[in-house]
Amino acid sequence: MSEDPLHYSAAPQSPQRLIPVLQVPREELRRGVRDTLFVLHQERLWRSKSADREGCLAQIAFWEAVLGWIQEQYGDSVNFVGRAR
């Protein structure tokens, strides 16, 4: 009975690629998102009778969720991790 031979490569493994990380001070990030929410709420009030209001409400909901996530994080900074290439 013959089996297919296993093929091994003698070549060294390529080094692992680094994953990019952006480290942002948590308090500055929180302040920036809070300021963005303030502007969005101002636009919402200004466009209260416009069709653009729905898009504004969706943006507000998104940034409020982001702000909540930021406030739940511990430590002095928040790390945003990119995808490995």
pLDDT tens figures, 25-41: 999 999 999 999 999 99
Q: What is the pLDDT of residue 61?
A: 96
How far is 33 from 15, CA to CA, in rounded Å? Answer: 37
pLDDT confidence of 9, banded at 50, 70, 90? low
Please give the span between the terminal C-alpha atoms of the chain, in angstroms, as a whole number. Answer: 43
Q: The whole model's pTM is what?
A: 0.69
Buried b (16+ CB within 10 A) or exposed e, 34-70: eeebeebeebbeeeeeeeeeeebeeebeebeeebeeb
How far is 61 from 51, CA to CA, in rounded Å? Answer: 17
